[in-house]
Amino acid sequence: MTSQAPHQPWLQRWHVKPIGWTILLVVLLVASSRMTGVDVGMFLSNLDQFTALLTRLSQPAWDYLPVIMRPLYETIQMAILGTTIGAALALPFALLAAGNLVHNRWLRSGIRFWLDLVRTLPDLLLAAIFVAIFGIGSTAGVVTLAIFSFGMVSKLFYEVIETIDMGPLEALESVGAGKLTVIWYAVLPQILNQFVSYFLYTLEINVRASTVLGYLGAGGIGVFLQRSLNEFNYSQTAVIILATLVVVMVIDGISNHLRRVLL
């Protein structure tokens, strides 16, 4: 008997799908840039300005470095504090939103709707609001980051909770343990590693985000970034950008390493 390969359908043979998608994407891109008035030509003709900026940025004023150490430190503190508060608040909500723990559909959907709502708030908008409420400073930044982390982490958390093995919960219930004890003994040990991993991941994002938030007056290095840019002091801007890059890379490195160890 001869082995015969099955006939390849023409859709696959002529790569109809990938080509179709590419065409559609290009059309969408052109159409949306038309509608929003983005001028690609202007972008290209202004490239020389960009190179001029780059040359000025390439002469960092290193004596500025000691000045920005404090705000840089403040930025990291903001990120850690905001992430911690957000994640701590997210845990109880994640437990209530998990379908395998809460069988009451109404309660669960209510909580999820609320979490979705929180997640749709843009962090820049939050920062602007809290700067208006708390004034310029890191409090506004911490609150913004806490809410942003809360929205993100709660969803990640409840999705993890829904994957756990239900056997240990059954065992703890059969022992006569109350709800809290069941969660403490049978749920938390199963999700702890992934929680820490997601916490670190959110922290990475927040360190980056908090530099931008500072730009709106929410404390940290962003305040200095904005000042140097306003004064066209690009040699200072260069120092700020480089120092921030180093900090972000170091934190990413540490958190990546920790996550690898954990999982």
Applying CB under 8 A, the residues found at the interface with other proteins are 165, 167-168, 170-178, 180-181, 184-186, 189-190, 192-193
Q: Which is nearer to other proteins, 173 or 252 (by Cβ)?
A: 173
Kindly state the smallest distance separating residue 109's Cβ from other proteins, in Å. Answer: 20
* Shortest reach from residue 192's CB to other proteins, in Å: 8
If one counts every other C-beta atom within 10 angstroms of the C-beta of residue 18, the result is 8
* Count of CA atoms in the C-beta half-sphere (13 A) of 82: 35
Contact present, 204 and 258 (Cβ < 8 Å) = no
Smallest distance from the beta carbon of 13 to other proteins, in angstroms? 47
160: Cβ contacts below 8 Å, ≥ 6 apart:
191, 194, 195, 198
Q: Are the CB atoms for 203 and 145 separated by under 8 Å? A: no
Name residue, tokens 């059954």.
170
Q: How far is the CB of 88 from other proteins (least distance, A)?
A: 16
Nearer to other proteins, 61 or 177 (CB): 177
CA distance 77 to 183: 31
**Measured from the CB of residue 167, what is the shortest distance to other proteins in angstroms?**
4
Q: Could you give phi then psi for residue 135, rounded to 5 degrees?
A: 80, 170
Residue whose CB is less far from other proteins, 38 or 166: 166
In the bound state with other proteins, the residue whose beta carbon lies nearer, of 31 and 171, is 171
Q: Considering beta carbons, is residue 137 or 168 the nearer one to other proteins? A: 168
